[in-house]
Amino acid sequence: YRNVFEQFSAVVRTHYPNITVIGENHPPSPLKSLFARILLIIKLTLITCIALDQNIFAFINIATPRAYLWALQHKIHACIVIFFLSNFIESTLKSTGAFEISIDNVNLWSKLETGRLPSNDEFLQMLDRISLIIVSLVVLLTFYDLKRAYVNKLATKEKDSLSNDDFSTNDDISSIRTPKMKMQMAPMIKFRYCQTCGYQNIFKQYSELVRKHYPSIAVMGESYPPPPLRALIARILSTIKITLLICLLFGQNPFPFLNISTPKIYLWALQNKMYACLMIFFISNSLESYLMSIGDSTGLLNAVVDFLFVAI
């Protein structure tokens, strides 16, 4: 749907040049995304083992399948087949068939619900309706601001008249109520987003829009924390990763100190330090990223937006 997005973007820029167009990939369901990541790890592991002529099944005491023995004898063909086949399955898992259109978090069209794409006429009609609503809101807000300014002006005149009365008569000083001071601070919009999901650029785009159209609003962004359990598991995994890398680089075997028999895969890692460190690094980083990511469970454009209007 990349070409369709480009067509609709051109239509918006032609008829409504003041509207900013942002496009992004619609995320798949969490279960499909998990399967795709697991398949990616399996693909990288198999290609690495085949390229290094290693039999991973021997380390886990499982009979080696004939297909894997054939792959060890035909490395190039096996790696190509694994690469393209796994990529096809990953693309199928990540494909959602979605084409969603929204303006300011208002959903205008959903292909997942309607089962089809909107025509150009339907798209322009939707934009016209939204434009009419926005103009109505602007008129209402302008009327509200004028009314508020008029009320403030009347209040100022009353205050001046009361102050003149204070100077003229000293007896009425005690009867005048002391006005309460009301602090006014500029509003602040706070974005909380998942950094590991790649929402940093979206936050920057929204920050630029806010600073451009509403320079009086302060913008603050921070990372949305993952669940405590997942954060704890990610920290434990990071500690294990660093410990293993240090032990491998210095050729140390920590299992005898724990009175545990050394696994065969660790003995292989001691003999192939470079490849073992690379595999541990990339696989653990992939798992940590998955644990620290919060996906699209947070709401607006897979991010959480908190509006904090203080003492207005």
Mean pLDDT across the stretch 10-21? 72
For a pLDDT cut of 70, what percent of the chain falls above it? 66
289 domain residue, yes or no: yes
Contact 4, 12 (CB under 8 A): no
Question: Does some domain include residue 22?
Answer: no
pLDDT band (50, 70, 90) for residue 130? low
- Residues written for the chain: 312
In a domain, 292, yes or no: yes
Quick one: residue 105, left, alpha or beta (phi over 0 = left, psi -120 to 50 = alpha)? left
Per-residue pLDDT, 137: 64
Mean pLDDT of the region 126-135: 66
Rounded Cα distance, 222 and 125, in Å: 37
Region 137-147: mean pLDDT is: 70
Contact 296, 27 (CB under 8 A): yes
Please, which residues have CB within 8 angstroms of residue 87's CB and are 6 or more apart in sequence? none
Q: Which residue has the higher pLDDT, 39 or 165?
A: 39
Instruction: Work out the angle at residue 177's Cα, subtended by the Cα atoms of residues 173 and 183, and round it to the nearest 5 degrees.
Output: 130
For the cut 80, the answer to whether the pLDDT of residue 9 exceeds it is: no
Residue 209 resides in a domain: no
Average pLDDT over residues 124-130: 68
| pLDDT (0 to 100) of residue 148 | 73
CB 47 within 8 A of CB 58: no
| 240, part of any domain | yes
The closest of 304, 301, 226 to 27, measured between CA atoms, is 301
Q: Which long-range contacts (CB under 8 A, 24 or more apart) does 2-6 make?
A: 4/99, 4/117, 5/99
The C-alpha atoms of residue 166 and residue 159 are separated, in whole angstroms, by 11
Question: CA-CA distance, 300 to 292, in Å (whole number)?
Answer: 19
Q: Which of 48-62, 68-82, 293-307 is predicted most confidently?
A: 68-82
> Is residue 235 predicted with pLDDT exceeding 60?
yes
* Residue 307, in any domain of the structure: yes
Written as six digits, the tokens of 79 are 């790696």
If one counts the domains in the chain, the total is 1
Residue listed under structure tokens 């900013």:
20
Which pLDDT band holds residue 181 (cuts at 50, 70, 90)? very low
Most confident of 56-65, 77-86, 197-206: 77-86
| Domain enclosing residue 267, as ranges | 226-311
Residue 306 pLDDT level (bands cut at 50, 70, 90): very low
Q: What is the pLDDT of residues 189-234, one digit of tens each?
A: 777 766 666 677 777 787 788 778 777 777 777 777 778 888 888 8
Q: 307 pLDDT exceeds 50? A: no
Mean pLDDT, the chain, rounded, equals 73
The predicted structure's pLDDT at residue 133? 65
pLDDT at 281: 86
Domain-embedded: residue 5: no
> What confidence score (pLDDT) does residue 246 get?
86
Q: Which residue has the higher pLDDT, 129 or 202?
A: 202
Q: Quote the CA–CA distance of 109 and 99 in Å, as a whole number.
A: 8
Is 242 within the bounds of a domain? yes
